[in-house]
Structure 1
């Protein structure tokens, strides 16, 4: 054996490592695949992504006595607090018909984005053991985190529907618009989760900073107030910037779909096109940005 190694070393002594690897058909361990091959690998593991998300959803409240009821109780408690502070004390409910349904819809919709972003930020750091033990596309993790939050939102939407009906809103054909709204928001949230998963893998302190960023974003996203009611008090350029806020766009689309008191005239200009562009941009950019660091995740 030693003589054979010596012969190989003698023959290939002048070759560079890359040339030597190419000559013997060797490849770099953990090498990043092409984007097309990576997408095929990811699609092949779609059942794993769904099963992983479902398992995490089931396990997330197992230690609590009320279990998954907290998926509904938490946004309802938030809605009660925000109604007291913003609706009654600060008076942001003025000029908004059916403010209770308006507020609850905004909170439930924004919480989907908020939870997807926060869980995506920790997707790599919280699963290092799994990453180092098994070979799979790392994008499975932030995508699974987004699906997990979508599953929780589906559980909560039933309660939101009851709130909307109890407060006097009728069931209309517009309710069907919930499906394209959720589809576009899910793609947008997935892109953000992938983007922040890469940043969070490199800078773990980002997970501590993001709650403050998300809270500020929520205050600017029309969860408690309406751009229409404030239009007389804010400059036109500021209104334009607010209408470009993707979180506000999805909030308004969900309200328009579920609430008969929210009319198309109250929505921002080209709102469906804006939602589509945000979904395509965030989803595509986040996916490619995450893929470019695929060979770095899980390394010390």
Structure 2
């Protein structure tokens, strides 16, 4: 017996003890949050390259190519202006076309990120099963793709604001932190819906209805003063905390003079924006990380 023990030092050890002795780890094991963050940072170039490739591929079959980055928001703005500006005559809003396009472009950034983020895991199962990398790269690439499209839309938006008679002011610079805070918010939101979408396939079908309802509740297409006129005070308070309404209100305040706004102070609006960015950005990241070992299985 003594000779057998000397010949086989692993005799009698459990699988866990053998793994510990030889430094083996479970395939797909979730790393610590700090280690996961470090790994994700090392893949930042992959995220950028993948988002650029997705952006180019999305317009590769169109004859006008990436020009649709500008034409799409312009066409959407024209349709909504025809309905809400000319047919419904939003006369209570000065410079309605700039008011409308500001809300539309800011909301579309979050709308597209959430919608595409829902399938960022289920639509890349082949890549996930073939390669080992932090899965958060995929929803973050979705957000970055939409961020690049937003930048093209903002060029159009600034042109519309100027053409419709708004003066250039220093407050335009506030658009930079507004968009960056929204990008952090969108990153967390995209990761959260990516995990939900990986578990529940029906979320893809439900998401358009959720986003459409969110758009109507964010004052994108009409005067936000209607909320205060038609809702009880407690409901108005909830509307004021709506993250998309907050980002849209801040953008309109930065770009437009005389735009109707809710009676929320700018300090309160900025507090909401920072709070939502931190809460959803960090919370969405942690929520996605907790499901890291589940993606691509089954």
Give the TM-score taking structure 2 as reference length.
0.93
Offset, 1:168: 0.5
Q: RMSD between aligned alpha carbons? A: 2.0
Number of the residue aligned with 1:207: 204
How far apart are the structure 1 equivalents of 2:108 and 2:116?
Answer: 12
Aligned residue pair count: 294
Partner of 1:127: 124
- Equivalent in the alignment of 2:190: 193
Contact 2:143/2:190, CA 8 A, preserved across alignment: yes
Matches of residues 241-260 of structure 1 in structure 2 within 5 Å? Answer: 241-260=238-257
CA contact 2:224–2:262 (8 Å) conserved in 1? no
Q: Which residue does 1:233 correspond to in 2?
A: 230
Task: Give how far 1:196 is off.
Answer: 0.5
Map of 1:170 onto structure 2 = 167
Q: TM-score, normalised by structure 1?
A: 0.92
Contact 2:224–2:261 (Cα < 8 Å) also in 1: no
Unaligned runs of 5+ in 2: none
Q: 1:232 is paired with a residue of what secondary structure?
A: helix
2:288 to 267, 270, 290: 290
Q: Counterpart of 1:231 in 2: which secondary structure?
A: helix
Answering whether residue 217 of structure 2 is matched by residue 220 of structure 1, we say yes
CA distance in 1, matches of 2:205, 2:240: 28
Contact 2:225 2:262 in 1 (8 A): no
**1:11-26 alignment runs, 5 A limit:** 12=10, 14-26=12-24
What displacement does 1:10 show?
Answer: 6.9
Q: Secondary structure at the match of 1:108?
A: helix
* Deviations 1:122-161, CA, capped at 9 Å, x for gaps: 1111111111111110001101110100001111211111
Q: Which residue of 1 aligns with 2:140?
A: 143
CA deviations on 1:58-81 (whole Å, 9 max, x unpaired) are: 111010111112222222222222
Q: How many Å separate the matches in 2 of 1:75 and 1:235? A: 34
Structure 1, unmatched stretches of 5+, are: 1-5
Q: Secondary structure at the match of 2:229?
A: coil
Stretch moving more, 288-297 or 202-211: 202-211
1:11 Cα deviation after fit: 5.7
CA contact (8 A) 1:243 1:268 kept: no
- Among 29, 35, 39, the alignment partner of 2:37 is 39
Contact residue 252 and residue 267 of structure 1 kept, 8 A: no
Deviations 1:197-245 (A, max 9, x none): 1111111221121011101100100101232254233221121111110
How far did 1:46 drift? 0.8
| Equivalent position of 2:157 in the other structure | 160
Matched residues in 2 for 1:155 and 1:205: separation?
Answer: 32
Name the CA shift for 1:268/1:236 in 2 (closer, same or farther; >3 Å): farther
Residue of structure 2 in register with 1:73 after alignment: 71
**Residues 111, 8 of structure 1: alpha-carbon distance in 2 compared, 3 angstrom cutoff:** farther
